[in-house]
Amino acid sequence: MNLIIDVGNSFVKLAVFQGETLKLKKRVELETVLDEIKELKQSFPSIKRAIVSSVGKLNHNDAEQIAKHFKVLALNSETNLPFTNLYQTPKTLGVDRIALVCAAVGQFPSRNVLIIDAGTCITYDFINSENQYLGGAISPGLRMRYEALNNLTANLPLLDTEQPKHIIGGSTQQSIHSGVVHGILNEIDGAVQAYRLKYPDLTVILTGGDTNFLSKQLKSSIFANPNFLLEGLNYILQFNSNE
């Protein structure tokens, strides 16, 4: 069994895989991650291997303790990957984007795949049917757009994310919701259409924290999978363990 440790700024996503099957996932606070991992070890004693994404955000003691319990792979730009990386600045490519591309390689081999991760930022990552990663795009996510309108203007309020009822906002609050949400939806649909002009057989994956909010509102045909990044990390661990 494999343990996936995806470290964010304040929270950590933990997942347990048996082969390719996700057995458990949970989100825990960074300060409690070691205790949570010890509990998982007791619940799943057959876990032998772990992969850590964004290892630099763990404190040194936690990283050492995890390494005592499992054979650990720390994901970085030097990790052996199952695709050809043609990104012009490979050392700046985020480990989350690497994991998403690996998930596409594992689940959609020899296909043109666009992965859209709708989180704090919206990232677009493209791998072609020749197993070459070409790059993509990065733009502000939902919350970042709401917060930018509030932070960078004098009078616009900070609103919670809400699906607009109409394209025409009849008030300032409705106008913000319409601008933010429809702006993102049109951006994603436009990006998918642009890719499909060049790659008509394109497979599109939507993942990330805003997957459920956005997926039903998009016009483009997509596969929605909020666990795609975790599955990609598991695939990287399996790929490196099988060599």
Query: CA-based angle 192:141:78, to the nearest 5?
Result: 80
What is the rounded CA–CA span in Å between residue 109 and residue 21?
A: 18
- The residue annotated as part of the active site, out of 96, 117, 125, 210, is 96
Nearest to 239 by CA among 131, 126, 117, 114: 131
What is the rounded CA–CA span in Å between residue 122 and residue 120?
A: 7
The one-letter code for the residue type at 119 is G
For residue 160, indicate whether it is catalytic.
no
Question: What positions carry a catalytic annotation?
Answer: 96
